[in-house]
């Protein structure tokens, strides 16, 4: 991608948004780092008391982490270091300049945001930093989703800068989305001056209060001397443990004020540590014991299954060690929706996605297994259905004293939150798999794996295909053809999606082979995620082909960001699966509300003319006979700055199968008339 095209040619020469291309020398300081939580006493401190205690000590030893501008995994390599050098050279700068300077020192090269009066001291400072990209969307929500796509696909932190009031409230959805899916983004929200806070000033909103429930941490900065430290804290918190969003609220008198003196005192983080086995007197021994217990359960298992989630993808070696564990113990691997790509789905041991719309064979295997090993997955209700009926085979084995559920999880609060487990292993999932592997014995599990292969042949993902003379395009067929045509180039493709039927069909009929090859909204289910996320992904991965697979309703929410793609010359590819309805809600109305389609059948714009107005190349197809040809043209489009949109009119009546009702167990699937679930004595045999 030619980043020299990022600047609109119509911009005034006085508005310098940043020069390209970026180089390795973009960061001139050799001190690109970030904070980790300080090593302090495990006594219970309030923030105020802790801060007071820390200020009594000048030479505090802290944990620092390397964080640079190069594409790097989300996992942070920790090292011990203590310094004050990181704050040097900030005296004489405004708060806005300090923010941008600190971002540059922390390795940030891309910022998403929208200007506004209260944010001007920050956004104006961007004109002084030539190596910082500043991408302005058409709506602040778009900026948030761009930051998510950028962060999730690169492992770097996504940064958003918005103005006060509505500018800040417009990023609440991306913050909630990032918190639910564990994506590290940092939002700087401008605020009215400190002396105006609480007076119902113009464009004032209590964004700290509003965002408290959808961030890992948030804070308002009321002293410019605190600003550098708060920024480093934000980066550390966003990337430590389970990643997530952080918000810093910056009043205008802070961002426009000037730091008069160099910062000479370093007080470390103002938060107690959150470490695995924090309340254990001997954490290492406790961890070792838990891993040994897990190994014993796995070695004694007759029907083991692995469920791999996003936690595997948060470590650069996660997929490698997942494969080693599967190979050594001959254990089949299922994935959560957010874990797609962590295990090659063309592998015979792959069970593909499980859950509400997961594979029949995967769901049957989860329920029948005597040991279920959960690696970095929260086990939410879309993955488990009725938790009282979840992993019934493992529950039976647990009662017999040899099996059960093992959960490897980095965030202690996610253990036993929804599903009571037999053994829990706290900490980084991949690091703990490394410790587990030497204890694992090889076992063929021949009978169990033969049964799984039989289920895979019998219950493969399928749909009712149209007759040869029927021109109607089935939405599943679109994904099947895309999968077939991209089979040899998947390593160079990242796919984003909106939310709805098209999202589930993409998960089911596209075979995921590579880590971080899908970026989609999971737990929050945010319609409109696809287009802006694709822009963020492309900016972070300019060498990749980025395809957004969208529904007509999802695209209608944020499709205006195609003009952002035009302005900055960001070439993405979009497939709009147009069934003129809110498909997932419509299918619920059909199945559970006696076909009362109340306000789910959509009146759409002419997508072809709309996208052409935003200077995108377009293809419109409504005939099955031309679909393959149009998909090839779409995939072969190779313009350096211009996007392409393929609009496909698809069958509105299609339903996503399988379906597992939330009150039922994973084995109690509705598969329509696709095939007959015929497993004699299944429950008697396994439960």
Instruction: Please identify which of the residues 5, 203, 451, 560 carries the catalytic annotation.
Output: 203
Locate 682 and state its tokens: 């299944």
| H-run or E-run covering 313 | helix 310-313
**94 to each of 118, 227, 247, 579, how far by Cα in Å?**
14, 11, 20, 52
Q: Which helix (H) or strand (E) holds 426?
A: strand 423-426
User: CA-CA distance, 352 to 551, in Å (whole number)?
Assistant: 23
Which parts of 569-642 fold into alpha helices (H)?
A: 583-592, 607-613, 624-636
How far is residue 67's CA from residue 84's CA, in Å, rounded to a whole number?
17
- Residue 676, Cα to own-chain centre: how many angstroms? 36
Residue 645, SS3?
Answer: strand
In angstroms, the CA 438 to CA 432 distance is 11
Q: Is 323 exposed, middle or buried (0-12, 13-18, 19+ CB in 10 A)?
A: middle
Q: Which long-range contacts (CB under 8 A, 24 or more apart) does 40-45 make?
A: 40/272, 40/273, 42/272, 42/273, 42/278, 42/279, 44/272, 45/272
Residue corresponding to tokens 């961890």: 287
The single residue of 584, 589, 614, 624 carrying the catalytic annotation is: 584
Cβ atoms within 10 Å of 550's Cβ, excluding its own = 32
Residue 474: CB partners within 8 Å, gap ≥ 6?
463, 464, 465, 466, 624, 650, 651, 654
DSSP lists the bridge partners of residue 620 as 647
Catalytic residue status for 45: no
Cα dihedral value 19, 24, 26, 29, nearest 10: -170
3-state secondary structure of 103: helix
> Residue 141: which H helix or E strand, with range?
helix 140-154
Q: Is 202 a catalytic residue?
A: yes
The CA–CA distances, whole Å, from 540 to 13, 202, 309, 491, 543 equal 26, 36, 23, 16, 9
Name the strand (E) or helix (H) holding 143. Answer: helix 140-154
Task: Tell me which long-range contacts 42-48 makes (C-beta under 8 A, separation of at least 24).
Answer: 42/272, 42/273, 42/278, 42/279, 44/272, 45/272, 47/270, 47/271
Q: Are 95 and 224 in contact (CB under 8 A)?
A: yes
End-to-end C-alpha distance for the chain, whole angstroms: 55
Question: Catalytic residue among 55, 58, 202, 399, which?
Answer: 202
| Alpha carbons 227 and 172: distance in angstroms, whole number | 23
Q: Could you confirm whether 345 is annotated as catalytic? A: no
Q: What is the DSSP string of 54-88?
A: HHT-SS--EEEEE--SS---SS--EEEE--SGGGT
Calpha distance 394→214 (Å, rounded): 34
ω into 63 cis (within 30 of 0): no
Q: Which entry of 101, 140, 148, 480 is annotated as an active-site residue?
A: 140
Alpha-carbon distance values, 74 to 65, 317, 425, 496 (Å): 12, 11, 21, 19
What are the residues whose beta carbons fall under 8 Å from the beta carbon of 569, sequence distance 6 or more? 1, 2, 5, 6, 640, 641, 642
Decide if 411 is catalytic.
no
Phi, psi angle pair for 149, to nearest 5°: -60, -40
Residue 252 bears catalytic tag = yes
Query: Residue 595 burial (CB < 10 Å; 0-12/13-18/19+)?
Result: exposed
Q: Which of 252, 490, 516, 538 is catalytic?
A: 252
Active site amino acids: 140, 202-203, 252, 584
């Amino acid at each position: 991608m030619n980043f020299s095209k990022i600047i609109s040619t119509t911009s005034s020469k006085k508005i310098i948004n940043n020069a390209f291309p970026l180089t390795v020398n973009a960061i001139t300081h050799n001190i690109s780092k970030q904070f980790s939580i300080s090593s302090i006493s495990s006594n219970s401190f309030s923030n105020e008391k802790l801060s007071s205690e820390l200020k009594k000590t000048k030479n505090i030893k802290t944990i620092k982490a390397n964080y640079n501008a190069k594409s790097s995994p989300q996992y942070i390599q920790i090292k011990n270091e203590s310094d004050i050098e990181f704050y040097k050279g900030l005296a004489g700068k405004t708060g806005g300049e300090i923010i941008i300077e600190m971002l540059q020192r922390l390795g940030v090269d891309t910022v998403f945001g929208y200007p506004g009066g209260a944010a001007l001291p920050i956004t104006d400072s961007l004109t002084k930093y030539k190596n910082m990209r500043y991408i302005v969307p058409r709506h602040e929500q778009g900026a948030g989703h761009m930051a998510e796509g950028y962060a999730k696909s690169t492992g770097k932190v996504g940064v958003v800068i918005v103005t006060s009031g509505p500018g800040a409230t417009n990023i609440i959805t991306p913050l909630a989305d990032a918190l639910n899916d564990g994506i590290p983004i940092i939002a700087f929200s401008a605020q009215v001056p400190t002396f105006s806070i609480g007076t119902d000033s113009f464009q004032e909103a209590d964004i700290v209060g509003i965002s408290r429930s959808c961030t890992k941490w948030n804070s308002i900065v009321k002293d410019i001397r605190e600003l550098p430290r708060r920024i480093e804290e934000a980066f550390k918190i966003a990337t430590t443990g389970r990643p997530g969003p952080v918000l810093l609220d910056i009043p205008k008198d802070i961002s426009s004020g000037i730091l008069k003196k160099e910062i000479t005192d370093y007080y470390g983080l103002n938060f107690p540590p959150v470490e695995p086995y924090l309340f254990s007197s001997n954490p290492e021994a406790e961890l070792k014991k838990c891993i040994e217990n897990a190994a014993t359960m796995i070695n004694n298992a007759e029907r083991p299954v692995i469920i791999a989630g996003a936690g595997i993808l948060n470590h650069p070696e996660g997929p490698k060690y997942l494969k080693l564990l599967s190979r050594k113990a001959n254990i089949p691997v299922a994935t959560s929706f957010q874990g797609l790509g962590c295990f090659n789905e063309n592998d015979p041991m792959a069970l593909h996605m499980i859950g509400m719309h997961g594979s029949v064979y995967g769901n049957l295997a989860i329920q029948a297994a005597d040991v279920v090993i959960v690696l970095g997955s929260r086990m939410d209700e879309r993955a488990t259905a009725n938790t009282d009926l979840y992993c019934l085979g493992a529950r039976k084995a647990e009662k017999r004293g040899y099996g059960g559920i093992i959960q490897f999880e980095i965030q202690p609060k996610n253990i036993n939150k929804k599903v009571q487990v037999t053994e829990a292993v706290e900490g980084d999932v991949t690091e703990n798999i490394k410790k587990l592997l030497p204890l694992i014995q090889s076992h063929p599990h021949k009978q169990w794996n033969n049964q799984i292969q039989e289920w895979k042949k019998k219950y493969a993902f399928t749909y009712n295909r149209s007759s040869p003379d029927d021109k109607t395009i089935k939405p599943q067929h679109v994904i099947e053809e895309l999968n077939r045509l991209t089979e040899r180039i998947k390593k160079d493709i990242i796919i984003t999606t909106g939310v709805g039927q098209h999202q589930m069909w993409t998960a089911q009929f596209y075979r995921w082979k590579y880590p971080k090859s899908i970026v989609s909204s999971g737990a929050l289910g945010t319609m409109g995620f696809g287009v802006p996320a694709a822009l963020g992904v492309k900016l972070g991965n300019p060498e990749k082909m980025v395809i957004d697979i969208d529904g007509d309703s999802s695209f209608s929410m944020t499709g205006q960001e195609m003009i952002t793609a035009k302005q900055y010359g960001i070439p993405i590819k979009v497939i709009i699966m147009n069934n003129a309805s809110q498909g997932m809600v419509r299918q619920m109305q059909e199945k559970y509300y006696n076909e009362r389609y109340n306000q789910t059948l959509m009146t759409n714009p002419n997508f072809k003319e709309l996208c052409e107005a935003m200077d995108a190349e377009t293809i419109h197809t409504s005939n099955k006979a031309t679909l393959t040809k149009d998909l090839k043209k779409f995939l072969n489009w190779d313009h350096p700055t211009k996007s392409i949109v393929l609009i496909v009119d698809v069958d509105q009546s299609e339903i996503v199968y399988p379906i597992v009702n939330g009150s039922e167990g994973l084995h109690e699937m509705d598969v329509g008339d696709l095939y007959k679930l015929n497993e004699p004595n299944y429950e008697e045999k396994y439960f």
